[in-house]
Amino acid sequence: MVPATALSVHPLAHRHQQHPARRGLEPRRRITMLSRQNPEADAAAGTTPLYLGIDFGTSGARYALIDRQGAIHSEGKRPYSPVGDAAGWASSWRAALFQLIDDIPPTLRPSISAISIDGTSATTLIVDSETGELLAGPFLYNESFPDALPAVASIAPANHTVCSGTSTLCKLVSWWNAAGGGGAAVLMHQSDWLLWLLHGQYGVSDYNNALKVGYDPEAGAYPSWLASQPYAPMLPSVRAPGDPIAAVRDDVCSQYGLSKECVVCTGTTDSIAAFLAARTTGPGKAVTSLGSTLAIKLVSKVRVDDARFGVYSHRLDDAWLVGGASNTGGAVLRQLFTDDQLVALSRSIDPAAASPLDYYPLPRKGERFPVSDPDMAPRLQPRPDSDAEYLHGILESIARIEAKGYNLLRELGATAVEEVFTAGGGAQNNKWTAIRERVLGVPVRKAEQTEAAYGAALLALKGADRRAGVAS
């Protein structure tokens, strides 16, 4: 149990205390803040409403501040401060949230009309809704709780999305069985919790984050097999992404110079935000998020869900985003190479030449998609003498996993992929893009906007329009 003093953030607490971000929670080491401003766009900012999106990915948080035309007025990022234990993640995320808001030029903050946040999917916190105290977690998106699988499989339909050890429902049931009940405990997803720090209301989520706890985005409700469970009162109410929730709390407005008219809006998951940032919509269009993980999102006319392979469908307005998330991706690369080494080594890769090396790059044991196997071991041997050849083999092996994923979606009945846009840190590697295009056999290109934070900012814009009654 996390000691109440460690993380309790009761919405009213701030009225009497310095804001947590300033109360000794700042990182033990000075973190480099990288930000970019747009002077031309700023010139209009004085009268132009701005929309703030904040992305909480695996390795760090970023923000994008845009206007209605989509022009970026300011953007920045912060790596997470060092984390000692699970509860430390919540402190690190909260510190990053208020550091990023503090990084926004003070002259722009009063123009922020709406805020939205995306986070990693199925990352779960259990919070006391009377004190704001963190009772358990965060349980991270790729943490598996197989102990809860038999109980979950006994209530859910066969091969339902929740029938995976990493599902939000498995995390909830595992905690429930260990804690012996809930009291005032409520379940929050990572972005729900971060948004709560800004608006102070419990029990609000979105239908993307709620998918992996069992919410049915087609019915627009929790299914009866879930709503009838003893822990159902812990579940948040569910709205569309980009729905206005409430105004930013007075203490946060005062502390950071935000307008009291600024509204906090429901968020989404990081790979959905990356999809939104790419602004592609037609069936067959897809976005691959090449961040710490590899998450694919394919616009499909047909909904496909099959936990045997880690495949599920997210709703996005009237479309289905079919996909899954593999544990392969940038986290493996970062274990082996710095970002600068990746750039240098990639220069000598010929993407037209297929690498003969066959790996399954994972940062540690466990895979979610296109193979759902919590015991799958990484395969990164034999390592050639040449680091460039090694990197080529790894990039090509990750491309083969990506291709297997898209082929699996097609085999399960989804619309065939026609074009792939790339988001995330890996999108900047043109050689990788060319390798992926050769392996996938369809056009692959870098999305115009590769940061999920931009997608979250588009949700903030949507939420502001919804509050104003503007059809969007």
Ligand X SMILES: O=C(CO)[C@H](O)[C@H](O)COP(=O)(O)O
Going 424 to 307 to 173 to 149, the CA torsion angle's sign is negative
The number of beta carbons lying within 10 Å of the beta carbon of residue 15 is 11
Tokens of 80: 């997470």
Least distance to ligand ADP, CB of residue 55, Å: 7
Between CA 380 and CA 146 the distance in angstroms is 26
Residue of 130, 147, 250, 339 interacting with ligand ADP (CB under 6 A): 339
Crossing angle for the helix pair 270-278 and 452-468, to the nearest 10 degrees = 80
Q: Which is nearer to ligand ADP, 96 or 414 (CB)?
A: 96
Q: Which DSSP string corresponds to 129-140?
A: TTT--EEEEEEP
Residues 384-403 touching ligand ADP, rule: CB under 6 A, are: none
Q: Choosing among ligand ADP, ligand X, none, which partner's interface includes residue 330 (Cβ < 5 to 8 Å by kind)?
A: ligand ADP
Q: Choosing among ligand X, ligand ADP, none, which partner's interface includes residue 429 (Cβ < 5 to 8 Å by kind)?
A: ligand ADP
Q: Choosing among ligand ADP, ligand X, none, which partner's interface includes residue 190 (Cβ < 5 to 8 Å by kind)?
A: none
Least distance to ligand X, CB of residue 295, Å: 4
Cis peptide before 370 (omega within 30 of 0): yes
Closest CA to 93 of 178, 167, 194: 194
Kind of pairing between the strands at 268-269 and 124-128? unpaired
Tokens of 39: 């002077």
Tokens of 454: 């931009």
Pick the stretch among 13-21, 279-287, 333-341, 358-366 that binds ligand ADP (CB under 6 A): 333-341
# of chain residues touching ligand ADP (CB under 6 A): 19
Cβ 437 vs Cβ 444: under 8 Å:
yes
Least distance to ligand X, CB of residue 215, Å: 12
Between CA 87 and CA 91 the distance in angstroms is 7
The number of beta carbons lying within 10 Å of the beta carbon of residue 470 is 10
Q: Which is nearer to ligand ADP, 148 or 439 (CB)?
A: 439
Beta bridge partners of 321: 299, 314
> Binding to ligand ADP by residue 234, rule CB under 6 A?
no
Tokens of 59: 């390795």
Least distance to ligand ADP, CB of residue 119, Å: 10
Q: Please give the backbone phi and psi of residue 166, each rounded to the nearest 5 degrees, phi first.
A: -90, 0
Residues with Cβ < 8 Å from 39, sequence gap 6 or more? none
Least distance to ligand X, CB of residue 272, Å: 5
Q: Choosing among ligand ADP, ligand X, none, which partner's interface includes residue 424 (Cβ < 5 to 8 Å by kind)?
A: ligand ADP
Q: Choosing among ligand X, ligand ADP, none, which partner's interface includes residue 56 (Cβ < 5 to 8 Å by kind)?
A: none
Q: Choosing among ligand X, ligand ADP, none, which partner's interface includes residue 266 (Cβ < 5 to 8 Å by kind)?
A: none
Residue of 17, 18, 59, 472 interacting with ligand ADP (CB under 6 A): 59
Least distance to ligand ADP, CB of residue 426, Å: 4
Give whole-number Cα distances, 86 to 83, 140, 300, 453, in Å: 8, 9, 37, 24
Q: Choosing among ligand X, ligand ADP, none, which partner's interface includes residue 207 (Cβ < 5 to 8 Å by kind)?
A: none
Q: Which is nearer to ligand X, 270 or 306 (CB)?
A: 270
> Binding to ligand ADP by residue 335, rule CB under 6 A?
no
Q: Choosing among ligand ADP, ligand X, none, which partner's interface includes residue 272 (Cβ < 5 to 8 Å by kind)?
A: ligand X
Closest CA to 380 of 356, 399, 397: 397
> Binding to ligand ADP by residue 141, rule CB under 6 A?
no
Between CA 187 and CA 173 the distance in angstroms is 11
> Binding to ligand ADP by residue 426, rule CB under 6 A?
yes
Between CA 190 and CA 363 the distance in angstroms is 22
Pick the stretch among 31-39, 97-105, 130-138, 330-338 that binds ligand ADP (CB under 6 A): 330-338
Residue of 331, 349, 409, 417 interacting with ligand ADP (CB under 6 A): 331
Closest CA to 264 of 190, 191, 213, 187: 191
> Binding to ligand ADP by residue 428, rule CB under 6 A?
yes
Beta bridge partners of 193: none
Binding site for ligand X (CB under 6 A): 57-58, 120-121, 141, 269-272, 291, 293, 295, 323, 325
Least distance to ligand ADP, CB of residue 432, Å: 6
Residues with Cβ < 8 Å from 280, sequence gap 6 or more? 286, 287, 299, 419, 421, 447
Most distant CA pair in the chain, distance: 63
Least distance to ligand X, CB of residue 269, Å: 3
Site string for ligand ADP, 341-360 (x = CB under 6 A): -xx-----------------
Least distance to ligand ADP, CB of residue 58, Å: 4
Contacts to ligand ADP by CB under 6 A = 57-60, 291-292, 330-331, 333-334, 339, 342-343, 424-426, 428-429, 432
